[in-house]
Structure 1
C-alpha cells in the first residue's frame, strides 16, 4: 500500500510551526501566560489583600534574609503591605490597562489609516500631517500634558497612552492599505460593485492584519512601561492602588535601607516588557511571509 501524502497544515499549525522556532518568543509566551493566570486568579493566589497592612512587620525583608518570614515571601513595604500580593494584584491592573490602550489605539488607528489610504488626497494629507506632528513630540511628555489636563487617574492615563500610540497604527495601516489597493482582488471587487466600506473593512483589512498584530504585541509592552512611568511620576494610578509604577514611587526613600521594596516591582516591569517584546519578535517571524524559509 502506497504511503499517502502528508496532510497540509492548517493556518494555526503553520503559525505555531514558525513561532516555536523562536525559543525566546516561546519563553516570553509562557511567562505572559503565567502572569495572565496570576492576574485572573489573584483573589485566590495572592496570600494577602493588596491594601492589608501589618503594622508589626514594617519593611520586613524577604524570606531568605535574616528576619524574613514565610508569611511575607518577598517582604513588606513601609506601611506593612505584602509586596508579593501587591505585585500579583498589580499584574491584573497593568494587563487590563495594556488591553484597553491597545484596543482603543488599534480601533482608531485602523479606521484613520484605512480612510487615509483609501480616500487619499486632502483627507490623507490632513490625517498624516496630524500624525507627523504627534510623532514629532516626545510621547511621554505628550502623555503627561494630557493627564495634567484631564486629571491624574488611571483611566485618564490609559486614554493619554492610547492617544500617543495612535500614530504608529495609522501609519502602519495606511502603508498596508496602499500596498493592497492596486492588487487584482481589490480591482475585481470594485468592478463587481463593492462599496468603500466593504472594500476597506472586509476585503482589504484582513490582508493588513499581520503587521498590526505584531505592532499590537509590542504596543502592549510599551503601554505597560508607559503606565508604570506615569504611575512613578504620580500621574497614573493613585495610592493605595497596587500598580507597579506607583509601588516604585511610594518607596524611593527606602532604596538604600530596604532594597527589596524597589527591586521586585522593577524586575516585574522589566520581565513583563521583555516577554511581550520577545513574543512580538516571534509573531513577526511567524506572520511575515518574507521571513519564512
Structure 2
C-alpha cells in the first residue's frame, strides 16, 4: 500500500508522454496487474486528471484535456526551464501571476534543482527593459479568436494617437522586441496588417468565421522581418552611405539600395533619432542625411555635445 503514491506518479508520467497506452503495457511498465492499473486510473480521475479510455483491441488509455487544471508532473529539466522562464517573463501584463506561480514552484523544488536554478540565475543578466503592458484579457481574446477562426473586432490607437475601429482575421500573436503584435488580414483594407497588442481593445462579440489564409509571401516570419520596421516604427530615415552596398550586408537591419559602385542608400525605421545616430555611427563610414530634417538637426546637437566632450 505504501508504494501506491509513487506508482501513481510513475503512471502519470507515462500518460503525460502524449501517447496511448494499453492496459497491458502499463501493467508491464509498473510491474502490476491490469486490474491494479484500472484502479490507479480511477484514482487519477478522482484527483482531476482526465484519463480517457478507448475500448477494443487497439484501444488504451490517454491523458486528455479537462475542465480544470490538475497538478502537473514535471521532470528535472522541465522544472528548471519553467522556473527560469517565470523569472524572466516578458511584458505580458501577467507579472503578478508569474510571481505567484514562481512562489509555488520554488517551494517544492528539490535542493538539487534549486542549485541548478541558482547557478543559471547567477550567470544571467536581466536588463531592466520593459515593453508596454498588455492586459492578459487582450492576449486571451486574440488567441481565442485565432484558435476558433473568428473575425476579431477591436478599437485601435495608432502611434500618432488617432483611433480607428478594425475588423481583422487574426493569424498569429507575435512577441518581438519586448512587445506583442497581432498579425492578420484586415478585411476593410483587404491586406495584411500588423498591430501592437497593447493598443488593441477587443469588442464583443467576434465577427463571422473565416478560413485561415496562406501567410504573406508564403512565410510569416520572412514577411514580418521585411515589413515590421516599415509598418510599426513611426520615424523613417534615409541616408546616403559612402560605401558599397555589399559592405553593409549583414551589418544593419534596414533596406540597403545600391546607388553606384561606391555609395548606397540606407533606409531605417525607428522610434528614436538617437538610435539611428548610434546605428549609423557603429558602421564607421561617411554618410549624409537625405531625410528627414529632424534627423539632421539631432545629429548637429549630438555632434556639438561630443565635440565639447573632447
Higher helix share: 1
Tell me the TM-score normalized by structure 1: 0.19
Structure with larger Rg: 2
Tell me the TM-score normalized by structure 2: 0.18
